Amino acid sequence: MIQAGLPFGAGLQESGVWQDFLHYARDPDDPPVDAGESDLPDAGRREGNAKRRFRQLSKAVLANGCDAIGKSEYGLRLRNCCTKVYKHVHERGARYVAHECGVPGCPDRERRDARRQAAAIERKVARFMARHPGSQAVMLTVTNEAVPAHELKDATSAIMKGTSALMRSAPVRRAVLGWVRSIELARHPVSWLWGPHAHYLLIFGPDYFRREKGIYLTQERWALQTQKCMRLSYRPVVDVRVLRGVKAPIDEDGRKSLREISKYKAKPTSLIVARNGKPLLVGSDHLELYDAGDGQGLRPHYNAPLRAFLDATKNRRMLSMSRNLQGDDDLELGEFPEDIEGVQAPADLGRFICTEVYVWRVRGSDADYFLVARTFEEPGRFAMPP
């Protein structure tokens, strides 16, 4: 992520960074909004800039959308996302953990969640398969019927409830040793319909593919069983395939296969699209039917895709797994890469050093985070400039 000790020019006090520092001194909870101009000469040269700049601009667009639909607390959190870095010291050296907004749809949150979840799934699956020699992993993808935005929350609920019924059904319980389920939401850019689908990582015993054992389920049987358990009036589209490399220990092919499980909650273009190189919030320029919960029922609204996504994912477990896979999975420090530490990691990293506050600055096509303040108060109260 961001490293401490970033280089600063001799003209710091005359630069936009110093003005941002003064802004934080006045109101540290309201970060300055950069209109796209800056006098910083070396912006964007430390980590690359194009993709990260687009993500940061996307967060600003999402924040404006949240303000427009009455979720200003989400907007404030998005604008503050990744502007603070908690620095701790440990026997393995200094560790950096970025402050995250936690807002669904935030591109940085989605990336970090995907990494954390993929690492956790890999660890749990590898342990489980090591305890069950000869076990095999299969990916089951179930695609439900496309629905308009105002039905997305109910469609997501149906998948969650249907998963419980599916995994408790007798044919599946006989065959499956453990499972992981993730839900992905994708919006069609032409029809404006959402296609919710679920990925299931299923772990079978060594006898599953032996037809004489009588526990093998064909693709047609999976479709029928899913339709029954989810109480659907149609037969969902089902795809079943063996996952390469998912074994104990898991190799690189297996890691690539497992990343599909936790790739994202919503396809990125479902909420943000690029127009002339700049992000645009999907639905901000047209009306769609949606029930905003204001007592007026179903009526046309702007930003319906964002409303639907936030309602469909609020307080929901988009990724879940069988109880025998959950287990006690305490991490030893340093076992995972630094950028996939858990949410509570700052309390576990060792002795607190400081909190560093950054702002996002843009100069032409280059952009980067720049250090504007550092506090040695724990936790994170403004203290002094760098």
Report the 3 state secondary structure along the chain. CCCCCCCCCCCHHHCHHHHHHHHHHHCCCCCCCCCCCCCCCCCCCCCCCHHHHHHHHHHHHHHHHHHHCCCHHHHHHHHHCCCEEEEEEECCEEEEEECCCCCCCCHHHHHHHHHHHHHHHHHHHHHHHHHCCCCEEEEEEEECCCECHHHHHHHHHHHHHHHHHHHHCHHHHHHEEEEEEEEEECECCCCCCECCEEEEEEEECCCCCCHHHCCCCCHHHHHHHHHHHHCCCCCCEEEEEECCCCCCCCCHHHHHHHHCCCCCCECHHHCEEEECCEEEECCCCCCEEEECCCCCCEEEECCHHHHHHHHHHCCCCCEEECHHHHCCCCCCCCCCCHHHCCCCHHHCCCEEEEEEEEEEEEECCEEEEEEEEEECCCCCCCCECC
Domain span at 201: 112-272+309-326
Residues 19, 147 within the same domain: no
pLDDT at 240: 93
Averaged over successive runs of 10 residues, the pLDDT of the chain (386 residues) comes to: 36 42 42 40 44 79 93 89 65 58 87 85 89 91 94 94 93 93 93 93 91 89 94 93 82 84 86 89 93 91 95 90 71 32 43 69 61 65 42
pLDDT at 17: 42
18 in any annotated domain: yes
195 in any annotated domain: yes
357 in any annotated domain: yes
pLDDT at 156: 94
pLDDT at 342: 39
260 in any annotated domain: yes
Residues 318, 365 within the same domain: no
Residues 120, 218 within the same domain: yes
302 in any annotated domain: no
Residues 239, 152 within the same domain: yes
pLDDT at 64: 92
Residues 62, 133 within the same domain: no
75 in any annotated domain: yes
pTM for the whole structure = 0.74
pLDDT at 23: 42
- Number of domain units in the chain: 2
277 in any annotated domain: no
122 in any annotated domain: yes
Residues 140, 65 within the same domain: no
